[in-house]
Amino acid sequence: MSSSSLPAPSFEQQVADLHGYLMKFARLQLRNETWAEDAVSEVMLAALAKPQTFGNRSQLKTWLVGILKHKIIDAFRLRSREVCQSSDSNDSEEDPLEYLGFKADGHYIEPPAEWGNPEQQASSREFFEVLEICISHLPATQGRLFLMREWLELSSEDVCKELGLTATNLYVQLHRARLRLRECLELNWYGKAVQP
């Protein structure tokens, strides 16, 4: 029997099938299993409350991810005091800028590597997997703030406003997050992909 003769999955089924997909991003962004489950449940309920027809699965994904982003911002607003309180106590005191390797006079010990053409390399699914693993390994507060900038696409001003953070505090955390991520990508992707 050809698959085209099967009845198309119902809207409810299509939404349910994307539960795991939504959980992946909710976990990455919220860094708290309960918050993530709550946010995704709210997305599913909101979606099922107003069924819509989409031409294909990726349009449905886009719609659901859009709802998820709003639910996540609501969750952060609701828990703004807790979001930055885990204070990443096991984060070392060392400034991750030191990972780059500087001499006492501020020069590089060794110049940074050429990473090659990012357009070519970043197109692969494999790269995104490494990227997501690196993001998930950031200390929780840093990871949340970093993805608020890079995934939720909030301005630094809005991140501070939503969470009641000072700009200085935010910039310190983002500085650390970006340098850690750079280090992780270099070790786990470019170190293997780049020709010496």
Write out the residues near other proteins by the rule CB under 8 A: 25, 58-59, 61-62, 65-66, 97, 100, 102, 105-108, 111-115, 118-119, 122-123, 127-128, 131-132, 149-151, 153, 156, 167, 170-171, 174-175, 178-179, 181-182, 185-186
**Rounded distance, CA 194 to CA 9, Å?**
44
- What is the smallest separation between the CB atom of 50 and other proteins, expressed in angstroms? 19
**Rounded distance, CA 7 to CA 10, Å?**
8
With respect to other proteins, which residue has the nearer C-beta, 79 or 149? 149
Q: Are 28 and 135 in contact (CB under 8 A)?
A: yes
With respect to other proteins, which residue has the nearer C-beta, 51 or 112? 112
- What is the smallest separation between the CB atom of 2 and other proteins, expressed in angstroms? 26
**Rounded distance, CA 130 to CA 21, Å?**
17
With respect to other proteins, which residue has the nearer C-beta, 75 or 170? 170
Burial 53-83 (b: 16+ CB within 10 A, else e): eeeeeeebeeebeebbbebbbebbeeeeeeb
With respect to other proteins, which residue has the nearer C-beta, 2 or 53? 53
- What is the smallest separation between the CB atom of 1 and other proteins, expressed in angstroms? 30
At CA 28, angle to CA 22 and CA 34, rounded to 5? 75
**Rounded distance, CA 39 to CA 16, Å?**
14
With respect to other proteins, which residue has the nearer C-beta, 27 or 149? 149
- What is the smallest separation between the CB atom of 7 and other proteins, expressed in angstroms? 25
**Rounded distance, CA 97 to CA 86, Å?**
22
With respect to other proteins, which residue has the nearer C-beta, 2 or 103? 103
- What is the smallest separation between the CB atom of 28 and other proteins, expressed in angstroms? 10
Angle formed by the axes of helices 140-150 and 19-30, to 10°? 120
- What is the smallest separation between the CB atom of 91 and other proteins, expressed in angstroms? 17
